[in-house]
A = this chain, B = another copy of it.
């Protein structure tokens, strides 16, 4: 059945081709300014073909956001080589913030757009694996810090959520253009510095 195989591969290739075109447009123009017709044009296929490979626009946005989490996780992967858990945790803060600042549109899609989660909720599984595995990585790092004697008096999982929230918050406010009121030159960087200084004392 060599033909069936080749066909399957071609289908997958075209799907990726459309996705790549969507990603290009999207990184440049942001979620709100990409249309299905844009994507079809960029991929050099018709609108109908896009709908053969993706159920609807939410499916495309979900696929893109999945790539974003994949990218973020691969950046975290490097941190495995930082032995001290507290140093690893702080370094991951820098990695996270850098990812957000470098990919604001992707960051917005990953955390401030309803579509990807709506798509997940309608799936048979219903679980948000992208977010789950990323949070687990953070939770385990925090637990390693606790095991190393840090964060006494804190509840590890809740603390992990707070850490995520804090770093997310300073990125999100900046990306959503709410940080200008601080009149800081680099609110994200300075905010992170303050947070890491706090963590260091625990």
Contact = CB atoms under 8 A, between A and B. Distances in A.
B165 A170 contact: yes
Given A117-B176, A181-B131, A202-B198, A165 B191 contact: yes
A164 B169 contact: yes
Interface stretch (A11-19, A34-42, A151-159): A151-159
Contact of A162 (B139, B176, B180, B191): B191
Contacts of A194: 154-155, 158-159, 161-162
Contact of A182 (B157, B169, B171): B157
Interface residues of A, number: 51
A46 B59 CA distance: 36
Contact of A176 (B112, B159, B179): B112
A153 B201 CA distance: 11
Nearest to A198: B198
Interface in A77-115: 111-114
A184 interface: yes
16 contacts: A128-B180, A132-B181, A154-B198, A155-B190, A157-B183, A158-B193, A161-B170, A161-B179, A161-B187, A161-B191, A161-B194, A165-B169, A165-B171, A165-B172, A166-B195, A168-B169
